[in-house]
Chains A and B, each alone.
Chain A
Amino acid sequence: MRVAQARRFVISDHPLPWLLPLVAILLVFTVYPLIYNIWLSFHGFVPRRRALEFVGTENWVQLWNDARFWQSLVITFTYFAIALIFELVLGMAIALLLDSDGFGFGFLRGVLTMTLVIPPAIVGMMYLLMEDPQFGVISYLLQSVGLLNPNNPILATASTALAGVLVAEIWQWTPFMVLIFLAGLRALPPEPYEAAMIDGASSFQIFRRITLPMMSKVIAIAVLVRGIDLFRVFDYVFVMTSGGPGASTYSLSLYAWQQTFSFVKWGYGATLSLVTLVIILVIANLFIRIAKVRW
């Protein structure tokens, strides 16, 4: 009898059985870490005793007064904004360019996705080599056309280091945007275009008035997914600049990583992570409101 009851429940319209695996795994793997980090942010690791000690709000006060935190926040924002704009615009432009059934275009779309399958840690090393001031191919090309002064190495000059890291970031993730936008473009219904054609609209007008509005949901999802990852940037800065020169490329995630692992300041590391989480939550929710994203 009970088996039959259970069976009826499982095949019923109740959402619980469907959501149960998801909820279970998310509870264990995210709610627990969240609680743990909140607890940790009120503690400090005492190296001498190899133990955590309650320190009250010390970590939070320290955070408020930590110039380095504020600086890395600004850098993370800058990185996030520049990368997102470039990836969006370039991604859309390339998607429009490649949205064709012409000969070879399928191949080109395939080649473009290759950038995505290389681990970011390796991409960082790759660009570190290519941007090397003496042996790097990018430095060499820029120097030979006079765009780069050999005395200002890309990654070791404060004004260009972030750009040097962003090149790797944008190179790797623009194709991600292209992939998503292409799918969106290919799905657009043909009727509005035909109508616009008859009215004699220019290509730009068509893009502005028809393509962009119809693509808005796709763009919103792409911005959200990519934006979250951008705000947690770690691999590239870690490998390429160690946050330098000085602290010109020091991101929040790198700061949290260092505090946690290199200096055993678990409490402060957790505090930094929580703040990062809150900032992303706020921005993402604002974005969802403003862009009127409905799930």
Chain B
Amino acid sequence: MAKEYLGEFEELVLTMVAALQEDAYGAAISEEIETRLKREVNLSAVHVTLYRLEDKGYIKSSMGGGTNERGGRRKRIFTITSAGMAMLRALKESRIELWKLVPQLKMF
């Protein structure tokens, strides 16, 4: 199988799905990214990325319950699949491998 690659934003969203577990849905993910990373994200971009990740088989989804805050609309809860987990792990490890190659400058 050809090696799949993830874009930066895809990786970020995938990580958030893994981190938020039961509470991983579009609005929550975008809120989390905004508060934790201080990064303005576009809700539609998050949605599209989630669908794409689902197409690639890294996450799966099911409909969850609605809340008052959402005007009673149900959420689509995403959960990471083992393929997604493996992908994340592989990414992390390759990053660390590469990081080791960087000469560590000492600050004097």
Partners in one complex: no
Could you list which residues of chain B lie within 8 angstroms of chain A, going by C-beta atoms?
A: none
